[in-house]
């Protein structure tokens, strides 16, 4: 009878849903174990709901990537229990230089015309210029990691010694230059502080605490590197950035990283059509460039630990109209 048929359909759906619930519950428990997540009882349901929404997004995106609609994959990574708003609040910060603010860097790196002669690919990690991936944790200090990254590279270029430099030193001590510690800052202002201060501590002598400490603990005797000035790359020019990365070494860059696609990035060449090239909220380090399956990319070192992305790195699209503003506010120190 029709009634019986209806009952069987509902029963089958109930069984399927129950099995799906068990599968999702198991996945959720595995994910929590993997990333060491523990919640209070009242928080657990909210986090699981957000995680399921993100899982849905990841599954959909990766199916589309398999169909050739995207050039990169995403994953339920350590940020999968955060909504995009929560995550932006936590992990990104204002790194856009106001247009009326003069840069401390008094030179601009330009190219003559747009036809740059540079190698097909560059990876400064292979030449010893780049320290292991670091983790800014829940502090908007990305700008400090970008600052140390480019100075670590230039210091290595000059001395042959790769010294890990102190982000905490910048977080605690560069307020006078206009930085705001865990609440954001600019790489150029980081360079300015190191110049004014006559140096920056080493990572080992001034370790990272992921919070604003009440006082500056810089000690000149522990200085790991100095700089004499810095250079801004011609605004918005990917060809100038390419030449700088090829000739100079790792370059500090600011990007728009505020999208769910970036939050969940796993691998492949990242292209985000809704990215801004002027509203920049994350400081990172361009350590090379190349092409992957015919897609030009910038090789970018992030500061969210080695479990995010490609062991802490992302390939960001190159020669696609300055996507995410990677060439908008790039600079490097002079050593």
With residue 196 as reference, give the H or E element that holds it.
Answer: helix 187-197
Marked catalytic residue, from 61, 70, 180, 282? 282
pTM of the model: 0.92
Q: Is 142 a catalytic residue?
A: yes
Marked catalytic residue, from 70, 77, 84, 142? 142
Q: Do 254 and 278 contact (CB within 8 A), yes or no?
A: no
Domain limits at 129?
84-334
> Is 231 a member of any domain?
yes
> Is 267 a member of any domain?
yes
Marked catalytic residue, from 84, 169, 179, 302? 302
Q: Is 259 a catalytic residue?
A: no
List the pLDDT tens digit at each of the 335 positions of the chain. Answer: 766 666 566 655 555 555 557 778 899 999 999 999 999 988 999 999 999 999 999 999 999 999 999 999 999 999 999 999 999 988 888 788 877 777 888 888 887 666 677 789 999 999 999 999 999 999 999 999 999 999 999 999 999 999 999 999 999 999 999 999 999 999 999 999 999 999 999 999 999 999 999 999 999 999 999 999 999 999 999 999 999 999 999 999 999 999 999 999 999 999 999 999 999 999 999 999 999 999 999 999 999 999 999 999 999 999 999 999 999 999 999 99
Those residues whose C-beta lies under 8 Å from the C-beta of residue 53, and which sit 6 or more positions away, are 83
Cα–Cα distance between 188 and 143 in angstroms, integer?
9
Q: Is 197 a catalytic residue?
A: no
Instruction: Verify that 131 and 183 share a domain, yes or no.
Output: yes
Q: Do 158 and 328 contact (CB within 8 A), yes or no?
A: no
Backbone dihedral angles phi then psi of residue 284, each to the nearest 5 degrees = -140, -170
Check which CATH number belongs to the domain holding 214 and give it: 3.90.70.10
Number of domains in the chain: 2
Final residue in a domain of this structure, among 41, 72, 103: 72
């Amino acid at each position: 009878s029709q009634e019986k048929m209806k009952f069987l359909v509902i029963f089958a759906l109930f069984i399927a849903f129950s099995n799906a619930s068990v599968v999702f519950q198991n996945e959720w428990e595995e994910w929590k174990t993997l990333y060491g997540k523990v919640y209070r009882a009242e928080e657990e349901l909210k986090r699981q709901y957000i995680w399921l929404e993100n899982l849905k997004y990841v599954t959909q995106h990766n199916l589309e990537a398999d169909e050739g609609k995207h050039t990169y994959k995403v994953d339920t990574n350590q940020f999968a229990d955060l909504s995009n708003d929560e995550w932006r609040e936590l992990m990104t910060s204002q790194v856009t230089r106001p247009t009326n603010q003069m840069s401390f860097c008094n030179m601009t790196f330009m190219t003559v015309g747009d036809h740059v002669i540079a190698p097909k690919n560059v990876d400064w990690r292979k030449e010893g210029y780049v320290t292991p991936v670091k983790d800014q944790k829940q502090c908007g200090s990305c700008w400090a990691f970008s600052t140390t990254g480019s100075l670590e590279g230039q210091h290595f270029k000059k001395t042959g010694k790769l010294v890990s430099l102190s982000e905490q030193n910048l977080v605690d001590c560069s307020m006078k230059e206009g930085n705001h510690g865990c609440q954001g800052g600019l790489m150029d202002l980081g360079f300015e502080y190191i110049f004014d201060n006559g140096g920056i501590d080493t990572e080992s002598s001034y370790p990272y605490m992921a919070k604003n400490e009440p006082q500056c603990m810089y000690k000149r005797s522990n200085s790991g590197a100095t700089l004499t000035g810095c250079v801004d790359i011609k605004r918005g020019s990917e060809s100038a950035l390419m030449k700088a990365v090829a000739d100079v070494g790792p370059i500090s860059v600011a990007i728009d990283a505020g999208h769910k696609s970036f939050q969940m990035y796993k691998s492949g060449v990242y292209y985000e059509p809704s990215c801004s090239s002027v509203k920049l909220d994350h400081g990172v380090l361009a350590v090379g460039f190349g092409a992957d399956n015919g897609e030009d990319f910038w090789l970018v070192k992030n500061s969210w630990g080695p479990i995010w992305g490609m062991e802490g790195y992302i390939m960001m699209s190159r020669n696609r109209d300055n996507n995410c503003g990677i060439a908008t506010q790039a600079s490097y120190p002079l050593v």
